Amino acid sequence: MRAAVLYEHGPIDNLTFEANYREPKAGPGEVVVKVKASSLNYHDVFTCQGMPGIKVPLPVIPGLDVAGEVAELGAGVTGWSVGDPVLVNPIWPGKGLMGEMLDGGLAEYCLCSAEQLIRIPTGVTYAQAASLPVAYGTAHRMMFDNGGVKAGERVLILGASGGVGTCCVILAKMMGCEVVVASQSQSKLDRLKDMGADHGIFYDKFERSIWGLYGKPHRRTYDGGVDVVVNFTGGDSWVPSMKACKRGGRILTCGATAGFDPKTDLRYIWTFELQIRGSNSWSVSDLETLMQMIADGRMSPIIDKELPIEEAAAGIKMLENREVFGKVVIAP
């Protein structure tokens, strides 16, 4: 089968296109899925480069998010038929994350456990379904289950133009929040405003832009600043995020694209009674809820580009270079 295979960590160009890679075979309890769409995530940049503390078994086919048709059922699998449209929950119970610890979706076929299958409802395309698990699923859990984002709150979203970020914008606007988005690029800010964002700001001294909009947070009253900062960027954006939050505000994080060990300033945490809430991954119900929202016409994931497997490395480089708005989908 055609596949994008990583043999060695390093630059993204290490991801090699193979025209005749070995096809998977379903064992007991397993299913082979004919991949119709697989979406890229910033995680694929980390997988290609290698992450401190995480040993990826190589070679591996990246691609965490997979949607496709059931192609082969292993012994003992019931409730599914060949041809069923499915979204694959990327976490294989007891084994790890597909597209990182196990082969993933940047191929014509992939192997998973039957436990990972979620039926795609009518009205949801393969590309839409494949855009959901890692980015949108995590955003849904972070904003609602862990973040408790409510109508009328002021929400600042850093990295708003990416996979996780665009979903946070969609969900916050759906909830009736006032949304401030941050980006390095005016054209991305314009597109985010087209999606409904209320204010767009650049990263440079962004806490001051927030003070300009809402006033400087007051340490005794609850005036000034935003209720929520969504920050999966880390690095230099961490302390300014604290300065942008009102007293009692929440900082939601699920990642650290620009650095996981930023300088911090504890004074802001106690003086302003800040709450830092982490989120990791998603639950099946997050994915089912998101697919139902698409089926009902309440939202649609933002897809920037669809590329063939041969261009998977080019797609991951676009993420690395911050050239993407929303998601990149790889469609074999």
Ligand X SMILES: NC(=O)c1ccc[n+]([C@@H]2O[C@H](COP(=O)([O-])OP(=O)(O)OC[C@H]3O[C@@H](n4cnc5c(N)ncnc54)[C@H](OP(=O)(O)O)[C@@H]3O)[C@@H](O)[C@H]2O)c1
- 251 close to 237: Cβ distance less than 8 angstroms: no
Name the one range near ligand X by CB under 6 A: 21-29, 78-86, 253-261, 301-309: 253-261
Q: What are phi and psi of 48, to 5 degrees?
A: -65, -45
Total of chain residues touching ligand X, rule CB under 6 A: 28
Residues 52-91 that bind ligand X (CB under 6 A): none
- 115 close to 149: Cβ distance less than 8 angstroms: no
Name the one range near ligand X by CB under 6 A: 2-10, 134-142, 171-179, 306-314: 134-142
Dihedral angle computed from the Cα positions of residues 241, 245, 249 and 251, in that order, rounded to the nearest 10 degrees? -10
In this complex, which beta carbon is closest to ligand X, that of residue 125 or of residue 138? 138
332 lies in the site for ligand X, by CB under 6 A: no
Q: Which residue is nearest to ligand X (CB)?
A: 162
Q: Which of 2, 10, 193, 22 is nearest to 108 (CA)?
A: 2
In this complex, which beta carbon is closest to ligand X, that of residue 77 or of residue 164? 164
Which residue in the set 36, 43, 246, 250 belongs to the binding site for ligand X (CB under 6 A)?
A: 43
Cα(68)–Cα(186) distance, integer angstroms:
36
- 182 close to 161: Cβ distance less than 8 angstroms: no
Which residue in the set 85, 173, 281, 314 belongs to the binding site for ligand X (CB under 6 A)?
A: 281
| Token pair 């802001």: residue | 268
250 lies in the site for ligand X, by CB under 6 A: no
Minimum CB distance to ligand X, residue 56 (Å):
14
Name the one range near ligand X by CB under 6 A: 76-84, 145-153, 290-298, 317-325: 317-325
| Token pair 């990327």: residue | 90
147 lies in the site for ligand X, by CB under 6 A: no
| Token pair 């003070």: residue | 211
Q: Is 262 exposed, middle or buried (0-12, 13-18, 19+ CB in 10 A)?
A: middle
Minimum CB distance to ligand X, residue 37 (Å):
16
Name the one range near ligand X by CB under 6 A: 40-48, 81-89, 112-120, 297-305: 40-48
165 lies in the site for ligand X, by CB under 6 A: yes
Q: Which of 129, 162, 106 is nearest to 308 (CA)?
A: 106
Which residue in the set 92, 214, 232, 268 belongs to the binding site for ligand X (CB under 6 A)?
A: 232
Cα(256)–Cα(231) distance, integer angstroms:
8
Cα(84)–Cα(73) distance, integer angstroms:
11
Residues sharing a CB contact under 8 Å with residue 16, sequence separation 6 or more, in sequence order: 4, 5, 6, 7
Which residue in the set 121, 211, 322, 331 belongs to the binding site for ligand X (CB under 6 A)?
A: 322
Per-residue string for binding with ligand X, 256-275, x by CB under 6 A? xxx-----------------
Minimum CB distance to ligand X, residue 137 (Å):
8
255 lies in the site for ligand X, by CB under 6 A: yes
Name the one range near ligand X by CB under 6 A: 23-31, 53-61, 68-76, 180-188: 180-188
3-state secondary structure of 312: helix
In this complex, which beta carbon is closest to ligand X, that of residue 51 or of residue 331? 51
Q: How many helices (H) and strands (E) does the chain have?
A: 10, 17
285 lies in the site for ligand X, by CB under 6 A: no
Cα(15)–Cα(99) distance, integer angstroms:
13
Which residue in the set 135, 230, 245, 312 belongs to the binding site for ligand X (CB under 6 A)?
A: 135
Sign of CA dihedral 162, 167, 172, 173: positive
Minimum CB distance to ligand X, residue 189 (Å):
8
List residues near ligand X by CB under 6 A: 41-43, 134-135, 138, 159, 161-165, 183-185, 188, 232-233, 254-258, 280-281, 319, 322, 324
